[in-house]
Amino acid sequence: MKKTLLWLVLALAVPAMGATGDPVTPMLAELRPVQQQSQAAHLAAELLTHYHYKTMPLDAAMSEKIFDHYLKSIDPQRIYFVQADIDRLAPMRTTLGDAMIKEDLSAPFAIFNLYAQRAAERLAYARSLLKKGFDFRQEETYEVDREKEPWAASETEIRELWRKRVKNDWLRLKLAGQEDKNIVDTLDKRYANALRQLGQIAGRDVFQNFMNAYTMAIEPHTNYMGPTAAKDFEMSMKLSLVGIGALLEQKDEYCIIKELVPGGPAALSGELNVGDRIIRVAQNGNGAMTDIMGWRLDDTVALIRGTADTIVQLDILPADVGPDGKHKVVSLVRKKISLEAQAAKKSVITVAEGNTTRRIGVINLPSFYEDLEARQRGDAEYRSATRDVARLLGELKKEKVDSVLIDLRNDGGGSLQEAVELTGLFVGKGPVVQQRDAHGDVSVLESSGKPGVVWDGPLGVLVNRSSASASEIFAAAIQDYGRGLLIGAPSFGKGTVQTVISLDRVAKSNKQEYGELKMTIAQFFRINGGTTQLRGVKPDIVLPEVIDADTFGESSYDNPLPSLQVKAAAYAPVADLTSLLPELRIRHEARIKRDSDFRFMQEDIAELKRLRDKNQVSLNEIERRKEREAQEARQVLKEARSDAGAGEKGTDQKSAVAKNRARRDDGLQAGERTLADELAAEKAGKSAKDPLLDEAAHILGDEVGLLKSKARFVARIGAESSPAPVQ
């Protein structure tokens, strides 16, 4: 996936104010590399140039690729640097690789420091514009996406870009109903917070970003993870961590409790509430309190997490008191917390066609997780996606569902072994995927056949453009075996295999200081010999996709591995569903023409595509208001039709207007809304209708009916052709 650091999005600086009130460029600390980072870069270079699936020398040509990737990660929209800056940095273009081998990281840090300086300068100018205001009667436009545009040729040109950028921010807030004074305050605070976040960027962030520019210059799915990122990756695979069981977020200078995990120490204490602010943290119940006001969120989280069964003390400013309100100290014992929100979940959808009702069991799988460490040490209760899905399938069988749908939308993958074993729950023991190493040797990975086929009934797999890697292995195998219907949009197209290498282990270091490499070591292939690389997995029945395939997915990268072909593995399909597809598609097309929710979704997708292609918005207030009013009128109509039958027509219209008001563009960015508004929006999003899921369930309901009709037909023909019994 395309990655940029959080600070690249948030790096909107606000200047300090001089004695005269004029904006001046703030002074940011110059960041420098440390010895461990230089050593880690050298170690990574040695591994990548010798053991990567696509070995590439770290020469001048590779340095140029790293340079371009690094600039793109720092300034993706080309709104900070000007052409003169790029010319100034040009001598570094061909020397980055040689410098890494020599353990010299001065160049990438110098590039970042120049970026930070430019960010502060640009936004000092942006800050000055807030005092002047804007004339929204002019006819001019703002370009939304500048990724493919040339660097600004001069300071005059880039200032004009920033003038339009700030003017658009102002206009969005104005259209949302804010007064000019509130708009100035909002933007001023926005830039102030962004400057604080810019100042919080540490050398480890710069190093990780540069290393990923190197790794992804080889191919898109090799990554470097610093020690903190490596721990987070491990927790996401284990689906557990040791902590207090609270989801935290940063708002201004405060660390706020956003959610309490049921059954966790924070929730069980009864002393903490959503919205409480954590001011200070102490260890072991008797340590000195550390003030965390203004800290980075990841540093705060690291301080609160720790070893199981140890004590952490929190100095809390309750949600219902002001900044000067009374504090309280809460002591909690850290425990192992299961990340259930990221685990597989089940639900049942009832679909009706005429007088017939079908029950479709849905299993949503966010990732192919596995606690490998627990498995290797023989823990009988280790956590894995396959184990959780097997349990959920057993529960769905007891609920007497007619078919099962595995929802892999937005599942970016995970454990290759889990993809193999999950397939076994539906096909039993047998080949699942083929793997080709850097030497061209091909091996076949088979499911173990344990615990055997858990579900042998009708099956569907729902995918979209964000379904990648392990998701594609599973979906492709189900399709090749003829075991189930593949529904949705063509998947991501990632057909490569990665392994995680600890640089600390390579360096024989007992400390966690060098980080890890997630390195591509092989390509995988379908058991029919085909590949998902670049192509993805193509559904049997295609549904609309919001994501633009030209800008997201394997084919959108500039350096993906090519798609190849290998011999088919020795496998036997368990069924052939192709004869059902024509009738299923006819019923699908007829149904979506009658479905207003589905039709509106298609219109929304078309509108998004139109806006992407247009790539600019008007900065004229009258024109923008007309556009906004037209969009809102259409949204109200959509809501009213969606709620048709819920009450009187007037009531439906009133309800639709209220819903639209709650969803309209308020001009605010993430972190600027109240916590209550954020939680309400998240709740509304979770409860929103899902036309794609509903239609996939209807398709499986159709399949169940066709299979039963076919079975009755075969049984009748068999009975009619049987010889008469001897009397």
The CATH code of the domain that includes 306 is 2.30.42.10
pLDDT, mean of residues 435-456:
95
Instruction: Assess whether pLDDT exceeds 50 at residue 662.
Output: no
- Is 725 inside a domain boundary? no
Q: Give the count of alpha carbons within 13 A of 151, CB side only.
A: 15
The confidence score (pLDDT) of residue 412 equals: 97
346, 494, 638, 659: which is the annotated catalytic residue? 494
Distance (Å, rounded) from C-alpha 591 to C-alpha 585? 10
Do 255 and 212 share a domain, yes or no? no
The confidence score (pLDDT) of residue 661 equals: 52
Instruction: Assess whether pLDDT exceeds 90 at residue 115.
Output: yes
pLDDT, mean of residues 423-450:
96
Residue 561, φ and ψ in degrees, nearest 5:
-70, 150
Instruction: Assess whether pLDDT exceeds 80 at residue 41.
Output: yes
Instruction: Assess whether pLDDT exceeds 90 at residue 671.
Output: no
Average pLDDT of the chain is 90
Report the chain's C-alpha Rg in angstroms.
28
In the block, residue with structure tokens 């020398």: 57
Q: What percent of the chain has pLDDT over 90?
A: 78
Q: What percent of the chain has pLDDT over 70?
A: 91
Q: Is position 480 annotated as part of the catalytic site?
A: yes
Q: Give the count of alpha carbons within 13 A of 76, CB side only.
A: 15
The confidence score (pLDDT) of residue 651 equals: 45
Instruction: Assess whether pLDDT exceeds 90 at residue 109.
Output: yes
- Is 283 inside a domain boundary? yes
Instruction: Assess whether pLDDT exceeds 70 at residue 105.
Output: yes
From 538, 560, 575, give the residue that closes a domain: 575
- Is 232 inside a domain boundary? no
Pairwise pLDDT comparison (3 vs 224), residue with the higher score: 224
- Is 727 inside a domain boundary? no
Give me 433's structure tokens: 């995927």
Do 176 and 270 share a domain, yes or no? no
pLDDT, mean of residues 128-150:
95
Band of pLDDT at residue 24, cut at 50, 70 and 90: low
The confidence score (pLDDT) of residue 500 equals: 96
The confidence score (pLDDT) of residue 194 equals: 81
Do 407 and 331 share a domain, yes or no? no
What's the distance, CA 421 to chain centroid? 24
Give me 21's structure tokens: 């009130």
Do 400 and 480 share a domain, yes or no? yes
Do 597 and 549 share a domain, yes or no? no
Contact criterion met (CB below 8 Å) for 460 and 484: yes
Other Cβ atoms less than 10 A from the Cβ of 180: the count is 13
Do 542 and 588 share a domain, yes or no? no
The confidence score (pLDDT) of residue 286 equals: 72
407, 411, 480, 702: which is the annotated catalytic residue? 480
The confidence score (pLDDT) of residue 8 equals: 31
From 218, 253, 271, give the residue that closes a domain: 218
Collapsed DSSP state (helix, strand, coil) of residue 511 = coil
pLDDT, mean of residues 573-596:
95
Which residues, at least 6 apart from 308, have a Cβ–Cβ distance to it below 8 Å?
A: 242, 334, 335, 336
Do 380 and 444 share a domain, yes or no? yes
Do 303 and 369 share a domain, yes or no? no
Do 396 and 487 share a domain, yes or no? yes
CATH number for the domain spanning 368: value is: 3.90.226.10
Instruction: Assess whether pLDDT exceeds 60 at residue 594.
Output: yes
Band of pLDDT at residue 123, cut at 50, 70 and 90: confident
Instruction: Assess whether pLDDT exceeds 90 at residue 718.
Output: no
For the ranges 21-35, 218-232, 452-466, which has the lowest average pLDDT?
21-35
The confidence score (pLDDT) of residue 663 equals: 58
The confidence score (pLDDT) of residue 27 equals: 76
- Is 680 inside a domain boundary? no
Which residues, at least 6 apart from 150, have a Cβ–Cβ distance to it below 8 Å?
A: 78, 83
The confidence score (pLDDT) of residue 720 equals: 54
pLDDT in tens, 354-375: 889 999 999 999 999 999 999 9
The confidence score (pLDDT) of residue 116 equals: 95
Alpha helices in 200-226 (DSSP H): 203-218
Do 176 and 57 share a domain, yes or no? yes
pLDDT, mean of residues 178-182:
96
Distance (Å, rounded) from C-alpha 229 to C-alpha 232? 5
pLDDT, mean of residues 681-696:
91
In the block, residue with structure tokens 């936004």: 123
pLDDT, mean of residues 258-282:
96
The confidence score (pLDDT) of residue 723 equals: 52
- The count of structural domains within the chain is 4
In the block, residue with structure tokens 């008191």: 321
The confidence score (pLDDT) of residue 14 equals: 35
Distance (Å, rounded) from C-alpha 15 to C-alpha 122? 9
Band of pLDDT at residue 660, cut at 50, 70 and 90: low
- Is 527 inside a domain boundary? yes
Q: Is position 494 annotated as part of the catalytic site?
A: yes
Which residues, at least 6 apart from 611, have a Cβ–Cβ distance to it below 8 Å?
A: none
From 550, 575, 600, give the residue that closes a domain: 575
Using DSSP bridges, classify how beta strands 254-260 and 246-251 pair: parallel, antiparallel or unpaired: antiparallel
The confidence score (pLDDT) of residue 6 equals: 31
The confidence score (pLDDT) of residue 623 equals: 96
pLDDT, mean of residues 561-584:
96
Do 466 and 330 share a domain, yes or no? no
Contact criterion met (CB below 8 Å) for 536 and 468: no
Nearest-5° Cα angle at 395, 394 to 400: 95
Do 469 and 568 share a domain, yes or no? yes
Band of pLDDT at residue 9, cut at 50, 70 and 90: very low
Distance (Å, rounded) from C-alpha 214 to C-alpha 67? 8
- Is 227 inside a domain boundary? no
Which residues, at least 6 apart from 379, have a Cβ–Cβ distance to it below 8 Å?
A: 371
The confidence score (pLDDT) of residue 688 equals: 87
Using CA atoms of 238, 244, 249, 254 in order, give the dihedral in degrees to the nearest 10.
Answer: -150
Q: What is the DSSP letter of 367?
A: -
pLDDT in tens, 248-259: 999 989 999 999
- Is 251 inside a domain boundary? yes
pLDDT in tens, 471-517: 999 999 999 999 999 999 999 999 999 999 999 999 999 988 999 99
Print the domain residue range for 298.
Answer: 240-338
The confidence score (pLDDT) of residue 21 equals: 43
Instruction: Assess whether pLDDT exceeds 80 at residue 173.
Output: yes
466, 469, 618, 642: which is the annotated catalytic residue? 469
Q: Is position 469 annotated as part of the catalytic site?
A: yes
Neighbouring-strand partners of residue 516: 225, 502
pLDDT in tens, 603-646: 999 999 999 999 999 999 999 999 999 888 888 887 777 666 44
Distance (Å, rounded) from C-alpha 250 to C-alpha 267? 20
